[in-house]
Amino acid sequence: MRVSFERTGGFAGISKKTTVDTDTLPPNEAATLPRLVEVADLFRLPELITSPNPQSDRFQYKLTVEDNGRQHTVTVSEAALPGTLRPLIEWLQNITQKR
């Protein structure tokens, strides 16, 4: 499984990008990523999730997941982040900070 993750926006407008692949992760992290994607039910989420009340200086996240020949991209604003997706976003942000 491979996940491309991009966070844009925020007060400073700094973009952060990373790609995480289970083939190159340590075993414990390689086991965690598919579980988080499954809990988020990412392949069933719409491609765009926006807030009815857009707010400036909020982050926007773009995730592209590739797994077993399937690919799905979701773009979500921080203000509209589904609770099921939050653990995956937080995990990916932690991975991004380590790199």
Q: Name which of 54-58, 69-73, 77-81 the model is least confident about.
A: 54-58
- Burial code (b: 16+ CB inside 10 Å, e: under 16) for 70-85 equals eeeebbbbbebbeeeb
Beta-bridge mates of residue 72? 65
3-state DSSP assignment of residue 28:
helix
pLDDT > 90? residue 95: no
* Calpha distance 14→57 (Å, rounded): 11
For residues 3 and 33, is the Cβ–Cβ distance under 8 A? Answer: yes
Residues 61-75: tens digit of each pLDDT: 999 999 999 999 999
Average pLDDT over residues 43-68: 89
Phi, psi of 81 (to 5 degrees): -60, 115
